[in-house]
Amino acid sequence: MRDRAIEILNANWRDGYTIPSKNLYPYQWNWDSGFIAIGLAHYDMDRAQKELETLLNSQWENGFIPHIIFHKISETYFPGPNFHRADLHPLANKKYPSTGMTQPPVLGFVLERIYEIAKNKADSLRFIKKNIDKVYKNHHYFYKHRDPNNEGLVYIYHNWESGTDNSPLWDPIFETIDAPEYNFERRDTSIIDPSERPTKREYDYYLHIIDIAKEHNYSDNKIAEFSPFLVQDPLFNSMLIKSNRSLITLYKMIGGNEDKIEQLERWQVKSLSSFNSKLFDEDLSAYIHYDLRNDKPIRLVSSSSFSPLFAGIPNKEQAEILVKTMMEKFGGKDMYLCASFDPTNSKFNPKKYWRGPVWINLNWMLYQGLLDYGYNDLANRIKSDTLEILEKVGFYEYTDPRKTIYKGKVKGYGGSDFSWSAALYLDLVNNQPTIRT
């Protein structure tokens, strides 16, 4: 399995970055690169550093880091650079064509993780020192431009920014949007079984939201004012909070930088407090998303609801509540942990993308979060479920949470030879302590 994982990462390596999956995702994706760098760090630190540097090179003048960087034009992906037109934004990176949206800010904790993995700590710290300000600048962008009410909670303006693209979480928002019917040629559904991918109508909404942002040249202020999709996402904000914490740790190791440390600590206090007062739903016993455009909570449970464990956000009682919810809704004995959407909800679909299947990156986070809170048995169950699935089907993009279907020859879903599944497998089997003290 290890050799196979390395083989996949090597095959998906392009000149300076790793594609998530051949044909289906032929460019560099933001949070994918973060997870991939962690896997690369276990066997080729130079390449891990290069992966991150290439991503950071695509940063805009205002600190923004895009979700896809279109290094070379590919015919197998839609929508490409000509649809996104990120260059409409006056501060867009002139060298790297990209989308005008971003993805969960993983880079802070990725830097810390690769430092932990590094055998040559001095070299790793040099690398971090050289690049950490770019990550800080990215956090500054989020707090300055994505938090119109000054709550310490940043918004996403497109479902693709969440990383959980077609989750049923977004359905109630799409019902409020009057999107036209677009004429376009999807490429993904000629590569992957359409029953595993979003529908054409969903794509209409995705494109329409981008068109609205384009009408405003991707201005953050205008997007905050006019985008029909504006959400405070607990997964996205957990990544930011986790990364804030890592940046504080790393700056302290580097020395100096007191002003940045203080600023990060101020953001952190505000973010943590709003996160717990606004996004924890007592009745659902879980963290939820908040629809900022329509000013109402999205009262649905998904694997994102548990991601705050990874960022140390819940107190002990809240963590206990989350674990109970996870076990009751997601943890039945016939289920692999952790489905991406509430298996007891009628919208749960075990085969369709973010509407139910298990995703390795979420499991990787939940495993560590549960360990941090001392839930060692449950953490180890997530880890062994993850390894068992991967051993059964190989390194797919997502997999079925129902144990009952794993008889005879089973397949995963979506892209095969998927980079972050391979990368995080390497991290899970290589360097993770099983019990933390």
Binding residues for ligand GLC, rule: CB under 6 A, are 20, 25, 29, 31-32, 163, 165
Least distance between ligand GLC and beta carbon 286 (Å): 21
Dist. CA 43–CA 145, nearest whole Å: 38
Least distance between ligand GLC and beta carbon 20 (Å): 3
Least distance between ligand GLC and beta carbon 277 (Å): 28
Residues 6+ apart with CB under 8 A from 414: 21, 24, 192, 196, 197, 353, 357, 396, 397, 398
Which one is catalytic: 51, 397, 400, 427?
397
For 37-61, b/e burial (b = at least 16 CB within 10 A) is bbbbbbbbbebbbbbbbbbbebbbe
Nearer to ligand GLC, 102 or 263 (CB): 102
Strand bridging mode 68-69 / 155-156:
unpaired
Which one is catalytic: 44, 53, 133, 165?
165
Return the SS3 of 155.
strand
Say whether 165 is catalytic.
Answer: yes
Does the N-terminal peptide bond of residue 79 adopt cis geometry, omega within 30 degrees of 0? yes
Give Cα 121 to chain centroid, integer Å: 27
Least distance between ligand GLC and beta carbon 83 (Å): 15
Nearer to ligand GLC, 20 or 412 (CB): 20
Say whether 397 is catalytic.
Answer: yes
Nearer to ligand GLC, 263 or 303 (CB): 303
Nearer to ligand GLC, 20 or 168 (CB): 20
Return the SS3 of 169.
helix
Measured at CB, which residue is nearest to ligand GLC?
20
Nearer to ligand GLC, 233 or 281 (CB): 233
Tokens of 19: 């594609």
Residues 6+ apart with CB under 8 A from 156: 101, 146, 162, 229, 230, 231, 232, 233, 236
Least distance between ligand GLC and beta carbon 72 (Å): 16
Residues assigned a catalytic role:
165, 397
